[in-house]
């Protein structure tokens, strides 16, 4: 194994997706924090100092775009890269999310290889080979 263990915060209201993303992050040798809505996600981002956040868009309590705005406004969390994970798959949605300040975008259902490549690159652990 090479590379440093990183911490990834998964903010996702669907339990099956949380589990899947958690297994993928785990298989990459990183650790996870989990939140089932945007409000808890923001709290964990402040307390847990994750290296990366995966953010669902459609969630109760606080949606992903609103949560992102709050994260970017807080100096404690402003520099953490945030990847949108959403079933909004149109090109216009992608542009809207990147314009809102998301670092990157993953469409659901996620492609496992694309997930690992994008997350791996953002965590600085290189490609899986």
Provide, rounded to whole angstroms, the least separation between the CB of residue 86 and Mn ion. 8
Return the number of the residue (56 or 77) whose C-beta is nearest Mn ion. Answer: 56
Q: What is the DSSP secondary structure assignment for residue 59, as one 8-state letter?
A: -
Task: Report, in Å, the least distance between residue 13 CB and Mn ion.
Answer: 4
* Contact call for residue 13 and Mn ion (CB under 5 A): yes
Six token digits for residue 65: 């775009």
DSSP code for 110: P
Q: Minimal distance in Å, beta carbon 4 to Mn ion?
A: 30
Contact between 120 and 127 under an 8 Å Cβ cutoff? The reply is yes
Q: Which of 58, 87, 114, 121 binds Mn ion (CB under 5 A)?
A: 58
Closest of 28, 23, 36, 39 to residue 6, by C-alpha: 28
CB of 61 to Mn ion, least distance (A): 11
Number of residues that bind Mn ion (CB under 5 A): 4
- Half-sphere exposure of residue 124: CA atoms within 13 angstroms, side-chain side: 8
The number of residues in the chain equals 129
The yes or no reply on residue 87 touching Mn ion (CB under 5 A) is no
Which pairing describes strands 82-86 and 7-11: parallel, antiparallel, or unpaired?
unpaired
- The smaller minimum CB distance to Mn ion, of residues 56 and 125, is found at 56
Residues at the contact surface with Mn ion, assessed by CB under 5 A: 13, 56, 58-59
């Amino acid at each position: 194994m090479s590379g440093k263990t990183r911490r990834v915060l998964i903010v996702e209201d669907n339990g099956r997706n949380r589990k899947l993303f958690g297994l993928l992050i785990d298989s990459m040798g990183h650790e996870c924090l989990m939140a089932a809505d945007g409000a808890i996600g923001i709290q964990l981002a402040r307390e847990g100092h994750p290296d990366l956040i995966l953010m669902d868009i459609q969630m109760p309590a606080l949606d992903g775009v609103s949560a992102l705005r709050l994260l970017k406004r807080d100096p404690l969390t402003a520099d953490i890269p945030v990847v949108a994970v959403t079933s909004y798959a149109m090109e216009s949605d992608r542009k809207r999310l990147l314009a809102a300040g998301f670092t990157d975008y993953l469409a659901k259902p996620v492609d496992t290889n694309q997930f690992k490549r994008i997350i791996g690159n953002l965590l600085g652990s290189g490609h899986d080979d």
